[in-house]
Structure 1
Amino acid sequence: MKKIFLLILLCVFSLGFSQKKKKVKAKAVVEKETAIIYTETDAETSSEARVVAGFLKQNPNHPKTDHFKKKLLDIIMATPSASESKPMMASVGKDKVAPKADNFSKPLASNTSLKSAVPARTVNYASVGGTSKKSGPDEHGKKTAALLTHLFNSDISGKEAYVNVINKSKCNMEMKISGKKNYNLIIPARSENYVMVDKGDYQLSTKVCDSPYTTSKKIEKDIEIALNVAE
């Protein structure tokens, strides 16, 4: 009888310890919000149109402006247009075809010339409204064109802001941005993704490696948010 009692006591202790251990697993989420600032090193090393375009906007009189304009044009022309990508999808998947050069005959810094821009990186996807899904060439091209137009627009009274989310954790993440409009942003582990949102008040929520993260933000300017779990 004494042995049975000890066995039951051991089981109860083990169960309580196990539950306590599970609670410890949920670590605090560390957030770092900063204004988006691109450096010359960022522009030199990055192969993303948004980074080079952002540097050009923030540094219009930089001595290497022509160099970076050429690099931006090369990045844009190295990616497929929507119409040229579609026939290739069924047979060769992600193979790329360069778009026609006549789409870029106007000066690079004008908003008109940026409307046909397509991003260099296509591993991340953002959607507006309901369930997030992978963007096709048209949606992805429109997303990048909207961002580049926004970056080169000097009117600070614009209705949209650019939100870049950096996932520094080892887990994939889906960020829900809820407000006057709803946005879903998928960010793979140790990667980043962005979305254009209407300026206003939003609730941001996600899980970083099973640790919940929720915050309220008034988004009135371009921001960058880095998330990770505490060590």
Structure 2
Amino acid sequence: MKKLFLILFLSIFCLGFSQKKKKGKAKVVAEKETVIIYTETEAETSNEPRIIAGFLKQNPGHARTDFFKKRLITIIMADNSPEAKPTIKPLSKDKIEKIVSNSELNKGKTIPVNTSNTASPQRNVTYASVGNTNKKSEVSDKNRKTAAMLTHIFNDDPSDKEAYINIKNRSNCRLIVKISGKKYYNLDVPAKGQNFVLIDKGEYVLTTMVCDAKYSSLKKITKDIEIQLDVAD
């Protein structure tokens, strides 16, 4: 009887110890928040319009400004090639040049993206980096997003009510980041990739699962920021 009691006691003790050990090994999210600063090297090597436009905005008197403006226009035009997407009317070169040269932005105008008769885009949308079966909708959304991003970056108005969050995903798992506040956004971020969303300034709660680790953070968004997420060692 004593042996049975001792075996039972040891079994319970070992089970409790192993559960405590497992809890101690629970994964946590490593977060790094920074103000976005673009370098000349990034602007020269990246094919993302956001990065080149950001560098131009942060370095208005740079010696290679004309080179980077031409590169920015070339990348956007290539991404909106009518040969590749015959059913979509792309951003015109003239419109892109006006955005980049900042000729319309200080007048408080809304930059149109498509001249076709389409519904006004909603602000509460999902911006995804993955493929969409509806190619027309995908390209149209991307055009709107690119135009809105360029307008925002080149806007020098201090009363600008928008900012964008860029999420860098360093983990091996795809993220669906929920941004909840005065408005709601879902941001799809591929594994080892990044994605961004333009939002109204204010307080938001960011939540997601980084692999098996839960992430939740309250952010007061008053300027463009970048958040890097990974699973801590």
Q: Could you say which TM-score interval applies, normalised by the shorter chain? A: 0.7 to 0.9
* Amino acid across the alignment from 2:100: L
Structure 1 residue 187: Cα displacement: 1.0
Structure 2 Cα separation of the partners of residues 155 and 218 of structure 1: 20
TM-score, scaled to structure 1: 0.77
- Determine the structure 2 residue equivalent to 1:91: none
Residue aligning to 1:220: 222
Q: In structure 2, what is the Cα distance between the partners aligned to 1:86 and 1:25?
A: 53
Q: Could you tell me how far 1:218 is from its partner in structure 2?
A: 0.9
Check the 8 A contact 2:30/2:231 in 1, yes or no. yes
- Is 1:51–2:51 an aligned residue pair? yes
Provide the residue aligned with 1:20 in structure 2: 20
Q: Unaligned regions of 5+ residues in structure 1, if any?
A: 89-96, 118-126
Change (3 A) 1:26 1:172: farther
Q: Tell me the residue number matched to 1:109.
A: 101
Seen in structure 2, the aligned counterparts of structure 1 residues 62 and 130 have a Cα distance that, compared at 3 Å, is closer
- The aligned amino acid for 2:60 is P
Shift of 1:16: 3.7
Q: In the TM superposition, what is the alpha-carbon distance from 1:56 to its structure 2 partner?
A: 0.4
Whether the 8 Å CA contact 2:126–2:188 is kept in 1: the answer is no
Structure 1 residue 78 corresponds to structure 2 residue 70: no
Cα distance between partner residues in 1 of 2:217 and 2:73 = 38
> Structure 1's 105 and 159: CA in aligned 2 closer, same or farther, altered over 3 A?
closer
Residue type of the partner of 2:172?
K
Could you tell me which residue of structure 1 aligns to residue 189 of structure 2? 187
- Tell me if structure 1 keeps the 8 A contact 2:169–2:190: yes
The Cα of 1:102 is off from its aligned counterpart by 5.3
Instruction: Give the partner amino acid of 2:185.
Output: Y
Counterpart selection for 2:155 from 143, 147, 153: 153
Q: Distance in 2 between matches of 1:164 and 1:112?
A: 25
Q: What percentage of residue pairs aligned between the two structures are identical?
A: 53
Query: Could you say if the C-alpha distance between residues 208 and 86 of structure 1 is closer, same or farther in structure 2, counting changes exceeding 3 Å?
Result: farther
1:69 is aligned to: 69
Query: How far apart are the structure 2 equivalents of 1:84 and 1:215?
Result: 41
Number of residue equivalences = 214
* C-alpha contact 1:27 1:230 (8 A) present in aligned 2: yes
The structure 2 residue matched to 1:199, chosen from 176, 198, 201, is 201
Mapped to 1, the partners of 2:92 and 2:182 lie a distance apart of 38
Report SS of the residue matched to 1:67: helix
Q: Is the 8 A contact 2:169 2:189 kept in 1?
A: yes
Corresponding residue for residue 41 of structure 2: 41
TM-score (norm. length: structure 2): 0.77
1:72 Cα deviation after fit: 0.2
Other-structure match for 2:119: none
Distance 1:203 1:38, change over 3 A: same
8 A contact 1:50–1:148 mirrored in 2: yes
Tell me if structure 2 keeps the 8 A contact 1:168–1:191.
yes
Whether contact under 8 Å (2:172, 2:211) holds in the other structure is: yes
Distance 1:61 1:21 in 2: 57
Match of 1:120 in 2: none
Q: Compute the RMSD of aligned alpha carbons.
A: 3.4
Assess if the C-alpha contact under 8 Å between 1:79 and 1:99 holds in 2: no
